[in-house]
Structures are given as structure tokens and as C-alpha cells.
Amino acid sequence: MWSISKIASLVHEWLSNTFSATWVTVFEMVIAGVLVISLFAVLGLILVMMERKVSAWIQIRLGPNRVGPKGMFQSAADTVKLLVKEGMTPNGADKLLFNVAPFLAIVVSMLLMAPLAFAKDFTLWDINIGVLYVSAISSVSVISILMAGWASNNKYSLMGAMRSGAQIVSYELSAGLSIMAIVVLTGSLNFNDIILSQADGWWIFKGHLPIWIAFIVFLIAVTAETNRAPFDLAEAESELTAGFHTEYSGMKFALFFLAEYVNVFIVCAIGATLFLGGWMPFHIGHWDGFNHIMDFIPSSLWFFGKTFFLIFLIMWFRWSFPRLRIDQLLNLEWKYLLPISMVNILLVTAMAILKWHF
């Protein structure tokens, strides 16, 4: 059967037979870069479309329905519009930082793509400390927002950036602690090890209540980290025009927009990997027949299915809940999520030592 990993190894073989080792590395880097960029484009189109359709259905509307069959090409048309728009730099702005910020945002999302396991035996960079790497790199994304907010020289932008900075810095803690729960159980920071440890059942089923708590805390924290409603007060339209990207237009705005959606994809992919088994098919204990049938569904489908399920969940949050105030936001983190996840990690550790999980 054809799988992504097989295609990858075939390409690698062909390249190593034709070129010298250095050129193989260079070519593979180029191929990986092109793949990541095209994945970005496709994800941007799909996620924007999905968001608009989901929001429409939740609000009993139709959503975009003019461009193409059922409006499916609306986001492509929007992309063209953004591409041909003029990218303005305001006069009073810090020109250098203003123009660097969107690229920093998108580069951070690209770096975050690297350790994800998209399918069985298919990772761009199977780094040993994947989980730590992800939480490290994602902490850089706040810098691009702070940079954009400052360089715009606009009070709304600065305020949005400040809010978003406070929000990301504080929610990183509980996101990290809930990720830590899984690391404690598996004893590894490597994404592939974590996935392999779920061969006999995903952690969400094996881990009892503490993992459920960790999962809920993780979902709330990553929703906040990606600046999405109900935690979107960094760009709260009704208060701050558009927050940190008020002054951005054209392609630079599009890059921020794209980075936001790709970040949603990435955090959902991480959530799916840690809690729902990544590309691991749905296995139940020792029902070998059942497990075997499940193995026939390709692993990449499992991965994308779970990821898109989580993305849908986050979109569902966005269109259900009203926006929080800044004090409510910080209360939620420091008075509720953080203490709960700290107690929770103690519970998980006890569970891991006593081997109470299945």
C-alpha cells in the first residue's frame, strides 16, 4: 500500500542515488520547505472557509455561497484580493520592525510545523525533545505581536499587543503544565514516542480523570494562546479596531491572518498527538480483530481527522462564548487553570508511579 512515509523514502532513495550527500540534504530541505509553504496555503484556504461555514451554520446563516459551488472558492478569491492590495506602511511607524513582524509570525509557525508527525513514520524533523521544542518556539510568537503593536505607532495596536502579551505569557504556563501531564505518563519528550505509547489506547481513554482535566485545561489555554474568541481581546474589534494588526494591510495583514490560522492547526495537531494518539488508529486493548480493521484506515487520515475535530471544537468555542474582560481573563488563568493544573500534575505523577493507568 502507498503511504506518505513510503513516498518519502522513495524520493530519498532516488535523490541519494543521483546526487552527492550535501546536495541530497539541500534538495530535501528545498522540498520540505516547498511542502510546508504549500501546506500553509492549503490550510489557510481550508481553515478560513471552514471557519466561515461553521460560524454561519451556528448562527443559522448560509455563509459564503457565491464564488464557486456552495461558495467553496470564496477564500481563494479573498486571497487574490489580499495579494493585489497595496501594503501600506504608516508614516510614523518604525518601518523596519513594522515590516519584519509579519514575517517573524509566519516563520515561527513554520518552525512549529517541523516536529509534527503527520503520518506513520513521517516527520520533518524527528527531534528528541519535540514537546519542549514546540513550547519553546511558540513562546517566540508573542514577540512578533509585541513588535507589530509597537512598530505601528498606534494606540490600539499597542494596547492589543500588551493584552495579547499578558495573555500569552500567562496561559503558556497552564498549557505547558497540561502537556507535562502526558510527558510524565510517557516519560519522553519525543512526539513519536508519545504516539507509540498510545498503541493500546489513546491517553484520553487510558488516563482517567486527570488526563481529562489536563485535556480541558489544554484546550482552554491554547484557545487563549492563539488569541481566538472568547480570548480575542487582543484584537477585540469592538474596542480596539483590530488590535495589533490595525495598521496592516494587503499581504502583510494576510501573513498575520495566515499565521493565526496555521497556529490553530498546529496547537490542535499537538493536542491530537498528545491526547488523541496522533496518527495512531483507534485501538481497544486486546481486540486484535477490531484493531486490525482500524489499521486499514491510513494513518494520515487519522491524524488529520483528529486535528480537524479539535479545530472544529475550537471554532465551536469561538462562536458560542462571549469575549472575556481582561481581569476575568487573568482571574481564569491565575485563580483557576494554574492551581488546577498544578494539583492535576501531582495526581498524574501519583498515577504514573502507582501505574494506575491501563
Q: Which residues bind other proteins (CB under 8 A)?
A: 22, 25-26, 54, 57-62, 65, 94, 96-97, 127-129, 132-133, 135-137, 139-140, 142-143, 146-147, 150-151, 153, 158, 161-162, 165, 169, 172, 183, 187-190, 216, 316-317, 319-321, 336, 340
Q: How far is the CB of 306 from other proteins (least distance, A)?
A: 19
- Cβ atoms of 50 and 42 within 8 Å: the answer is no
Nearest-approach distance from CB 294 to other proteins, in angstroms: 26
- DSSP annotation of 335 reads I
- As measured in angstroms, the least distance from the Cβ of 58 to other proteins is 5
Residue 75 or 144 with smaller CB distance to other proteins: 144
Q: For residues 85 and 357, which CB has a smaller minimum distance to other proteins in the complex?
A: 357
For residues 356 and 123, give the distance between their C-alpha atoms in angstroms, rounded to a whole number. Answer: 31
Question: CB-wise, 16 or 139, nearer to other proteins?
Answer: 139
Q: How far is the CB of 289 from other proteins (least distance, A)?
A: 33
- Taking the least distance from each CB to other proteins, the nearer of 158 and 280 is 158
Minimum distance, C-beta of residue 117 to other proteins, in the bound complex (Å):
17
- Nearest distance, CB of residue 46 and other proteins, angstroms: 18
Q: For residues 137 and 311, which CB has a smaller minimum distance to other proteins in the complex?
A: 137
Least Cα distance to 178 among 140, 141, 137, 207 occurs for 207
Could you identify the residue written with the cell 513519536?
192
Cell of 97: 520592525
Q: Give SS3 for 45.
A: helix
Report long-range pairs for 89-97 (Cβ below 8 Å, ≥24 apart).
Answer: 90/152, 90/153, 90/154, 90/247, 92/153, 93/151, 93/152, 93/153, 93/247, 94/150, 94/151, 94/153, 95/151, 96/151, 97/147, 97/150, 97/151
Nearer to other proteins, 88 or 343 (CB): 343
Question: Helix H segments across 85-241?
Answer: 95-113, 130-138, 141-151, 155-186, 191-196, 203-206, 208-225, 237-240
Vertex 221: Cα angle to 322 and 337 (nearest 5) = 95
The residue among 135 and 198 lying less far from other proteins, judged by its C-beta, is: 135
Among 89, 134, 281, 313, residue whose Cα is nearest residue 198: 281
Say how many C-beta atoms besides its own lie within 10 A of residue 30's C-beta.
10
Q: Looking at beta carbons only, is 308 or 317 nearer to other proteins?
A: 317
In the bound complex, what is the minimum distance in angstroms from residue 283's beta carbon to other proteins?
A: 24
Rounded to whole angstroms, the Cα distance separating 204 from 165 reads 31
- C-beta of 61: minimal distance to other proteins in Å? 5
Kindly report the backbone phi and psi dihedral angles of residue 60, in degrees, each rounded to the nearest multiple of 5, phi listed first: 50, 40
